[in-house]
Amino acid sequence: MELKTAKLQPKIQAKKSRKLSLKHKRNILRWSVSYTLLTLLAVVTIMPFLWTVSTSLKGQNETIFSYPPNFIPENITFENFVTVWNTLNLPLYLWNSVVLSFWGVILPLFFCSLAAFPLARMNFKGKNVVFMTILATMMIPGEVTMIPVYLTISKLGLIGTYSGVILPGIVSAFAIFLMRQAFISIPKELDESAIIDGANAWQIWWHILLPMVKPMLATLAILKFIGAWNNFLWPLLILEDSNMYPLTVGLYELKGTFVSNTRLVAAGALIALIPILIVFIAFQSYFIKSAYSSAVKG
């Protein structure tokens, strides 16, 4: 084996040096092709956003739809944002979205990591059956159970309440699965020594284990936040009072009523986008992580 590689070595080196200048040229070509493609695709991707930003900054006298399209407003104005903020219930919608998103993050995190704890760290009869049942519910699409869930919420008298919007989305098999994976990777000795020190299961879960799975909790929190902030169907189905609408449903109504005033709708849409954009930029690395944990490990 050693002999072989020793014989090959000079050959490889010769090949390498001959290729060096060629390689340099090829790299420059590769970079320019890559950057051109990347930039082109990026522009196409953000085109709808650019157009919306441009529209929201145009004044009442400026045309929105023109040929050729005009991306840079002649007079930049923020009056659309002020108008949409003052005349519509936008601050209220925004607050409602915050409330719904808060519970839509906290409750799933709490309940899913609660159930994941025994599934990851305890031995009891029926554990596998329970775990398999939970995983099997991943096969049930929410759209298929939409009607019975609605009827259940109606029976519980929760139509028109935030509880009715939040409750169906608290538990997800996927979140339990992710939390279980995180708990499993912690050494078992930790629980044993804690029990010897007199801690009970609740204390071990709350004080020892949960702080150790913070990265996974953060990943889940972000996923849940995006889901809750963008939740549209359940608030639309459950809520009756328009003063309780979150931003998504509010915008949906806005799209209907202000169909003639494109500038205002554009400003409203951008206001809805800003929180997502902030969370995304602040926690970008967690998004990569969440994709990794669901596709590669799962």
Partner 1 sequence: MYKARTAWLFLIPTGVLLLTFSIIPAITALGLSFTNYNVFQPIEWVGVENFSRAFSDDDFWTALWNTFYYWILVTPALIVFPVFLAILVNQQLMGIKVYRLIFYFPALVSVVVTAILWTWMFKDDGLFNAALQAIGINPIDWLTDKFTAMPSLAIVTIWQGLGYYMLFYLAGLQSVSKDLYEAAELDGAGFWAKHFYITFPSLKPIIFFVTVISTMSAFKEFTLMLTMTAGGPIGSTTTLVYMIFEKAFTDLEMGYASAVSTILFVIILILTLINKRALDTTQ
* Residues in contact with 227: Cβ distance below 8 Å, sequence separation at least 6, in sequence order: 104, 169
Told to check if 46 binds partner 1 by CB under 8 A, we report: yes
Which member of 6, 72, 129, 281 binds partner 1 (CB under 8 A)?
281
Minimum CB distance to partner 1 smaller for 48 or for 59 = 48
* Residues in contact with 149: Cβ distance below 8 Å, sequence separation at least 6, in sequence order: 142, 168
Told to check if 183 binds partner 1 by CB under 8 A, we report: no
The CB-of-292 to partner 1 minimum distance in angstroms stands at 4
Alpha-carbon separation of residue 264 from 82, 270, 277 (angstroms): 9, 10, 20
The CB-of-208 to partner 1 minimum distance in angstroms stands at 14
How many residues touch partner 1 under the rule CB under 8 A: the total is: 94
Which member of 13, 60, 137, 257 binds partner 1 (CB under 8 A)?
137
Which 72-101 positions form the footprint of partner 1 (CB under 8 A)? none
The CB-of-245 to partner 1 minimum distance in angstroms stands at 11
Which 104-123 positions form the footprint of partner 1 (CB under 8 A)? 111-112, 114-115, 117-119, 121-123
Told to check if 147 binds partner 1 by CB under 8 A, we report: yes
Which 186-215 positions form the footprint of partner 1 (CB under 8 A)? 191-192, 195, 201, 205
Using the rule CB under 8 A, give the single segment among 77-85, 86-94, 131-139, 210-218 that binds partner 1. Answer: 131-139
The CB-of-145 to partner 1 minimum distance in angstroms stands at 4
Which member of 78, 95, 102, 232 binds partner 1 (CB under 8 A)?
232
Told to check if 34 binds partner 1 by CB under 8 A, we report: yes
Which member of 162, 183, 229, 286 binds partner 1 (CB under 8 A)?
229
Which 244-263 positions form the footprint of partner 1 (CB under 8 A)? 248-249, 251-252, 255, 262
The CB-of-2 to partner 1 minimum distance in angstroms stands at 18
| Residue 255 and residue 52 in contact, taking contact as beta carbons nearer than 8 Å | no
Which member of 51, 103, 206, 283 binds partner 1 (CB under 8 A)?
51
Told to check if 269 binds partner 1 by CB under 8 A, we report: yes
